[in-house]
């Protein structure tokens, strides 16, 4: 049996602009996406017993047919015509339905992990085509670099070098349905779309000026606590703060991990929130 444990990182959206709605119901997006050092742990075992099986430790996660990681494994095996069996054990550290892309990251990690274990000769483009069938964020996690994402989020362009910062992720233990947020979104003329891809170097000031999320107003209507968390982050020394994805996780931008950690410790004293000081994952 072949076995290995892989780390599946979370992501944050440094900006998220909704440019319009397509006829098929998908939305046209422009986003800056960054992986961060909060990880699910995924152990993949490849053996001779046919089928795909998933077990999930940590947070509750649907198993088997409803699990995106299992779907990723089945899709890859079917694509390459393999009758190998795959057992996947997931230890969840990334909160579910939190705007951090945990499920998509798990799916991408399964695609990459099985490809490695079986010695398959599949490049990024082939894996990204499979990933897009599973979810719009999956190709980003396969890309493995900070990216400017357009289209429905699957067209990726490498971002210029980002500043050395730290982030504090704050999740108020609220699960948010991405589908419901998009369904409630009223398309209006939002903020000016960031021009990060055209920068040669991104400074801390550039990064903080980029922070914008068209989905924030929608989620705020239902969960006004998000605005309070943003204010607390700014009061704690964050240079900027934003809700990631469809929420409800909010992140603050700090000069270094020490500052982010201290801010997180203070917030955790008075609130039953999940706090994660993290660093960018660059490669």
In the predicted model, what is the mean pLDDT of residues 177-185? 79
What is the pLDDT at residue 133?
96
What long-range pairs does 257-264 form, CB within 8 A, spacing at least 24? 257/166, 259/166, 260/166, 260/167, 260/168, 261/168, 263/168, 263/233, 263/236, 263/237, 263/238, 264/168, 264/170
User: Does residue 198 surpass a pLDDT of 80?
Assistant: no
What is the pLDDT at residue 173?
94
In the predicted model, what is the mean pLDDT of residues 72-85? 96
Q: How many CA atoms lie within 13 A of 182 on its CB side?
A: 18
User: Does residue 183 surpass a pLDDT of 90?
Assistant: no
**Beta-bridge partners for 97:** none
User: Does residue 188 surpass a pLDDT of 60?
Assistant: no
What is the pLDDT at residue 25?
61
Task: Quickly tell me which residue has 């990933």 as its tokens.
Answer: 131
Residues labelled catalytic: 11, 137
What is the pLDDT at residue 105?
98
Q: Which of 120, 154, 161, 201 is nearest to 283 (CA)?
A: 161
User: 34-38, 56-60, 75-79, 116-120: which range is least confident on average?
Assistant: 56-60
Q: What percent of the chain has pLDDT over 70?
A: 90
In the predicted model, what is the mean pLDDT of residues 81-85? 94
pLDDT in tens, 145-179: 999 999 988 999 999 999 999 999 999 999 888 77
Calculate the CA 120 to chain-centre distance. Answer: 26
Q: Is 139 helix (H, G, I), strand (E, B) or coil?
A: helix
**Beta-bridge partners for 156:** 149
User: Does residue 63 surpass a pLDDT of 70?
Assistant: no
pLDDT in tens, 100-111: 999 999 999 999
Indicate the pTM of the whole model: 0.92
b/e 230-261 (16+ beta carbons within 10 angstroms → b): bebbeebbbbbbbbbbbbbbbbbbbeebebbb
User: Does residue 283 surpass a pLDDT of 60?
Assistant: yes
CA distances, 211 to each of 15, 136, 150, 186, 239 (Å): 5, 21, 17, 20, 11
Per-residue pLDDT band for 1 (boundaries 50, 70, 90) equals confident
For the beta carbon of residue 269, count every other beta carbon within 10 angstroms: 6
Angle at 100 between CA 96 and CA 105, to 5 degrees: 85
CB 252 within 8 A of CB 241: yes
Domains of the chain with CATH codes = 2-157 (3.30.230.10), 160-281 (3.30.70.890)
**Beta-bridge partners for 10:** 36
What is the pLDDT at residue 236?
97
Calculate the CA 134 to chain-centre distance. Answer: 14
Q: Radius of gyration (Cα) for the chain, nearest Å?
A: 19
User: Does residue 189 surpass a pLDDT of 70?
Assistant: no
pLDDT in tens, 223-265: 999 999 999 999 999 999 999 998 899 999 999 999 999 999 9
What is the pLDDT at residue 194?
63
What is the pLDDT at residue 58?
55
In the predicted model, what is the mean pLDDT of residues 119-131? 96
Q: Which of 130, 161, 133 is nearest to 34 (CA)?
A: 161
What is the pLDDT at residue 247?
85
What is the pLDDT at residue 153?
87
Per-residue pLDDT band for 23 (boundaries 50, 70, 90) equals low
Question: Distance between CA 64 and CA 88 in Å, rounded?
Answer: 10
Question: H helices within the chain, ranges in order?
Answer: 68-80, 102-118, 124-134, 138-143, 178-184, 204-210, 216-222, 225-235, 257-270
Phi, psi of 138 (to 5 degrees): -60, -45
Angle at 188 between CA 184 and CA 194, to 5 degrees: 110
Average pLDDT, the chain: 90
For the beta carbon of residue 8, count every other beta carbon within 10 angstroms: 29
Calculate the CA 75 to chain-centre distance. Answer: 21
């Amino acid at each position: 049996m072949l076995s290995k444990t892989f780390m599946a990182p979370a992501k944050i959206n440094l900006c998220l602009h909704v440019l319009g709605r397509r006829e098929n119901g998908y939305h046209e997006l422009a986003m800056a996406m960054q992986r961060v050092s909060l990880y699910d742990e995924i152990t993949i075992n490849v053996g001779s017993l046919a089928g795909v099986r998933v077990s999930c430790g940590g947070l509750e996660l649907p198993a088997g047919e409803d699990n995106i990681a299992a779907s990723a494994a089945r899709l890859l095996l079917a694509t390459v015509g393999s009758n190998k069996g795959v057992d996947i054990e997931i230890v969840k550290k990334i909160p579910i339905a939190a705007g951090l892309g945990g499920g998509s990251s798990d799916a991408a990690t399964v695609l990459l992990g099985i490809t490695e274990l079986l010695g398959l000769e599949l490049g990024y483009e082939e894996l990204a085509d499979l990933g897009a069938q599973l979810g719009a964020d999956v190709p980003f996690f396969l890309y493995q670099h900070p990216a400017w994402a357009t289209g429905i989020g699957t067209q990726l362009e490498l971002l210029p070098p980002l500043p050395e910062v730290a982030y504090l992720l704050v999740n108020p233990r609220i699960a948010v349905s991405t589908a419901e947020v998009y369904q409630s979104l009223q398309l209006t003329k939002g903020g000016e779309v960031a021009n990060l891809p055209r920068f040669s170097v991104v400074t801390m000031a550039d990064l903080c000026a980029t922070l914008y999320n068209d989905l924030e107003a929608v989620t705020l209507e239902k969960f006004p606590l998000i605005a309070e968390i943003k204010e607390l982050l700014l009061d704690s020394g964050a240079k900027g703060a934003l809700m990631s994805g469809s929420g409800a996780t909010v992140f603050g931008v700090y000069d270094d991990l020490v500052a982010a950690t201290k801010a997180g410790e203070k917030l955790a004293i008075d609130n039953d929130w999940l706090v994660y000081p993290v660093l960018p994952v660059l490669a």
